[in-house]
Structure 1
């Protein structure tokens, strides 16, 4: 799932320029972070 999501986002990033590209990069980072955060954060505590 993560690889597919990243590849799709990368296609969007590479096909745009300027402000749109920056927005897609920010959105991809946000989506990846929110998806992976529960899998890697320390829940013991």
Structure 2
């Protein structure tokens, strides 16, 4: 029973870490899009590379 709980806890941590990484990537993408739109409004056509 204890071993099963340890495995479940490890899997939950993996899922939380994955979700955290996805959120960080989404935030970066949104920030790049904000900059791109701001630059487009100012006439600057800077191209961003995907990281």
TM-score range, shorter chain: 0.3 to 0.5
Structure-2-length-normalised TM-score: 0.43
Give the number of the structure whose alpha-carbon radius of gyration is greater: 2
Structure-1-length-normalised TM-score: 0.47
